[in-house]
Amino acid sequence: AALDAAEADSAFGQTAYTLEVSSPGVDRPLTEPRHWRRAAGRLVRTRIGDTPVEGRVLAADASGVMLDVAGTQRRAAFADLGAGVIQVEFAPPTHQPGEDAP
């Protein structure tokens, strides 16, 4: 609807075009405490010190984040944590963090 008037006025000419829409979503790094709080329940990749880790965000507060890494809860202070990146999952987890997979 937003482009209907522009198309009617021939602003785009007679040439076909492709409209691409994106958002600062999944690949935006988690760098602030509020980003980590919003990512609760999501699978992320990050670094704790020099060690790369992948885990599910259980909780985040003003000082750090609690991750479920391969069934083990791991606390990391923001000072020790690298930028996190949410991992795309096409199916929700079938079990709660900390439980063995079925």
Residue 101 maps to which CATH number?
Answer: 2.30.30
Q: Which residue has the higher pLDDT, 62 or 11?
A: 62
- Among 2-16, 18-32, 33-47, 76-90, whose mean pLDDT is lowest? 2-16
Asked if residue 43 is part of any domain, the answer here is yes
3 state DSSP class of 36: helix
Q: Judging by beta carbons within 10 Å of its beta carbon (0-12, 13-18, 19+), is residue 23 exposed, middle or buried? A: exposed
Confidence of residue 91 (pLDDT cuts 50, 70, 90): confident
Asked if residue 10 is part of any domain, the answer here is no
Q: Is the pLDDT of residue 65 over 70?
A: yes
| Domain limits for position 83 | 24-102
CA distances from 48 to 53, 58, 79, 82 (A): 7, 16, 9, 6
Asked if residue 39 is part of any domain, the answer here is yes
Number of domains in the chain: 1
Asked if residue 55 is part of any domain, the answer here is yes
